[in-house]
Amino acid sequence: MTQDESETRRVLGRVKWFDPVKGFGFVISDEGGPDILLHANVLRNFGQSSVADAARIEVSIQSTERGIQATEVFRIEPPEAPAGVPLADFEEIDPEIIKSAPLEPARVKWFDKAKGFGFANVFGRDQDVFIHIEVLRRSGLADLQPGEALAIRVIQGKRGQMATEVCAWETAVEH
């Protein structure tokens, strides 16, 4: 390994795609250049098992024999949601109620990306909390794994308890 290959630097970019099953994805740097490999282990060290396509991301990168790779994730911002387009499930709910819901610790019960939804359990409560794929995407995530620790904002919706925001447990303290 040369001196250049051992050096890291921080870059901003967008997630091109990430597949938690394959265990990797790619980031496109705002500076241009080749795609940056984002390995699942680097993402897990940040506290997430997935990241949404088009999410803004700040990473440190390193040049290796196999190309440019991310070595650390510093922050992830969800992809931009279409302006003024609320989810159908939240249309009739006061936005202040949604914003004021506290972040609560939860665990993923199950999530099926193909079906577009899943459920989590808030600690100390019996009722399941519904998580819609669009809420996940707007929260900057693409998928969830059973048993994964989360922090979620929960409201009472038309169909019962519903998550309005989902974040990795490790990053919840920043909210």
pLDDT one-digit tens code per residue, 24-35: 999 999 999 999
Indicate the pLDDT class of residue 95, thresholds 50, 70 and 90.
confident
Q: Report the C-alpha gap between 159 and 166 in whole angstroms.
A: 18
DSSP the chain: --HHHH-EEEEEEEEEEEETTTTEEEEEETT-SS-EEEEHHHHHHHT-S---TT-EEEEEEEEETTEEEEEEEEEEEPPPPPTT---GGGTTS-HHHHHHSPEEEEEEEEEETTTTEEEEEETT--SEEEEEHHHHHHTT-S---TT-EEEEEEEEETTEEEEEEEEEGGGGGG-
Going by DSSP bridges, is the β-strand pair 103-112/24-29 parallel, antiparallel, or unpaired? Answer: unpaired
Task: Determine the pLDDT at residue 70.
Answer: 97
Domains of the chain plus CATH, in order, are 3-77 (2.40.50.140), 88-174 (2.40.50.140)
Q: Which residue from 109, 21, 36 is spatially nearest to 67, judged by alpha carbons?
A: 36
Indicate the pLDDT class of residue 87, thresholds 50, 70 and 90.
low
Q: Which residue from 90, 123, 107, 80 is spatially nearest to 166, judged by alpha carbons?
A: 107
The residue-averaged pLDDT of 69-80 equals 91
8 A C-beta contact, residue 23 and residue 63:
no
pTM (two decimals): 0.70
Task: Determine the pLDDT at residue 1.
Answer: 40
8 A C-beta contact, residue 161 and residue 153:
no
Least confident of 31-45, 58-72, 109-123, 134-148: 134-148
